[in-house]
């Protein structure tokens, strides 16, 4: 069974990205082959005085930045070649990936 990246929707993890996926707790420290997000690292963002960004907000911000660069593939060798073009995720497949996490890119 493959697990889904909660940032880009890529279904390519052998293990879940979080030990408690429902609450996004206990990051696996795995790095997504598609978007490069590292669970347990990139979602641990201190704002100030011991206050942290929520993990959901970290996902959203990271996702928006990644999309602003036209969704580059982090590990093109491991990411399916039929879903990439010029080192980026093809738009039609990106839409399908985002459906995996309940996001509609066409809105």
pLDDT band at residue 107, thresholds of 50, 70 and 90? low
For β-strands 18-20 and 25-27, DSSP reports them as antiparallel
pTM of the model: 0.88
Q: What is the mean pLDDT of residues 62-79?
A: 95
**Tokens at residue 42, please?**
């990139």
Summarised one tens digit per residue, pLDDT across range 3-61 is 999 999 999 888 888 877 666 778 888 999 999 999 988 888 888 878 888 889 999 99
Return the pLDDT at 48.
Answer: 80
Round to whole Å and give the CA distance between 71 and 84.
10
- CA angle (12 as vertex; 4, 34 as ends), nearest 5: 90
Q: What is the mean pLDDT of residues 69-84?
A: 95
Round to whole Å and give the CA distance between 26 and 39.
8
Q: What is the DSSP letter of 19?
A: E
What is the b/e burial string over 46-64, where b = at least 16 CB atoms within 10 angstroms of the residue's CB? eeeeeeeeebeebbeebbe
Cα radius of gyration rounded to whole Å, the chain: 14
Domain ranges for the chain: 3-99
């Amino acid at each position: 069974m493959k697990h889904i990246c909660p940032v880009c929707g890529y279904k390519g993890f052998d293990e879940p990205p979080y030990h408690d996926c429902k609450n996004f707790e206990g990051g696996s420290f795995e790095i997504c082959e598609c978007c490069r997000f590292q669970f347990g690292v990139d979602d641990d963002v201190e704002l100030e005085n011991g206050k942290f960004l929520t993990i959901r907000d970290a996902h959203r911000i990271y996702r928006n930045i990644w999309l602003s660069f036209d969704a580059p593939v982090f590990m093109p060798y491991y990411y399916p070649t039929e879903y990439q073009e010029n080192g980026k995720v093809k738009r039609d497949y990106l839409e399908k990936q985002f459906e995996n996490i309940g996001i509609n890119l066409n809105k």
